Amino acid sequence: MTIRVLLADDQALLRATFRILIDSCDDMEVVAEATDGAEAVDLARLLRPDLVLMDIRMPGTDGLAATSVLCADPDLTETRVLILTTFEIDEYVAGALRAGASGFLGKDVTADALLDGIRTICAGESLLSPLATRSLITRFLAAPAESARLAVPGDLVSLTAREREVMAWVAEGRSNEEIAEKLYVSPLTVRTHVHRAMTKLGARDRAQLVVMAYQTGLVQAHPASTDGS
């Protein structure tokens, strides 16, 4: 199955570079390019891509606003959003994750990392494991605006003790393999617990499950480092 990708970036050179890279792979293709968020929304509704590779800083409708619209559209539940960003705009990325984006990558990402990221998200996972992402989550997702709240503490009563435990490890940025080692179970068992938790809580994907873990207080945010790390 070919992964169909929509590029959304106002820089023509970057779009061209990403198109060449993605189209060079047998398992994915670029189906369209958008120069701003509004065009990305229109093209996504028309073409129903598997993934939108979304820049945040674009003229007019930016990537954050576009992500909110895309992820709220009931006709685009199968379309995932992968944010392209720099660490200078962490707070905007947090907003995109709350809106339903499945992860993010820096614009200095390597070619292999970008392609792996696209495949990872389209496989139903999320890009939430690097240390930089853990820092982002703990700093900005712990106390989101009420309007962006996806879950409340009472929602966790539907989960089993093991599902809550696995959810907490997911929120710490651990992979299924890492969680399996800690719990002495198989990665497949961990994956099952993750999907059951997502189903019970109505999480769109693993990224939203992380947001819910912080919003419900299942996992507490750690104070930001004072040494800039």
Distance (Å) of CA 168 to CA 156, 159, 163, 180, 215:
11, 12, 9, 13, 12
Structure tokens at 116: 């792996």
- Domains, the chain, in order of start with CATH, read 3-127 (3.40.50.2300), 146-215 (1.10.10.10)
Quote the pLDDT of residue 52: 97
pLDDT at residue 101, as a whole number = 86
Lowest-confidence pick of 108-112, 175-179, 218-222: 218-222
The average pLDDT across 9-22 equals 95
User: What was the pLDDT predicted at 121?
Assistant: 87
Residue 55 near residue 84 (C-beta atoms within 8 A): yes
Percent of the chain whose pLDDT exceeds 90: 46
Q: Which pLDDT belongs to residue 145?
A: 55
Between 22 and 61, residue with greater pLDDT: 22
- pLDDT tens digits, one per residue of 66-108: 999 998 899 998 999 998 876 555 566 667 777 788 888 878 8
Mean local confidence (pLDDT), 153-159: 92
Residue 149, pLDDT above cutoff 80: no
Return d(Cα 198, Cα 169) in angstroms, integer.
Answer: 14
Average pLDDT across the chain, whole number:
83
- Write down the pLDDT at residue 127: 63
Flag whether pLDDT at 176 surpasses 90. Answer: no
Q: Give the pLDDT score at 136.
A: 55
Neighbours of 98 (CB within 10 A): 24
Q: pTM for the complete prediction?
A: 0.70
pLDDT of residue 133: 52
SS (H, E, C) the chain: CCEEEEEECCCHHHHHHHHHHHHCCCCEEEEEEECCHHHHHHHHHHHCCCEEEEECCCCCCCHHHHHHHHHHCHHHCCCEEEEEECHHHHHHHHHHHHHCCCEEEECCCCHHHHHHHHHHHHCCCCECCCHHHHHHHHHHCCCCCHHHCCCCHHHHHHCCHHHHHHHHHHHCCCCHHHHHHHHCCCHHHHHHHHHHHHHHHCCCCHHHHHHHHHHCCCCCCCCCCCCCC
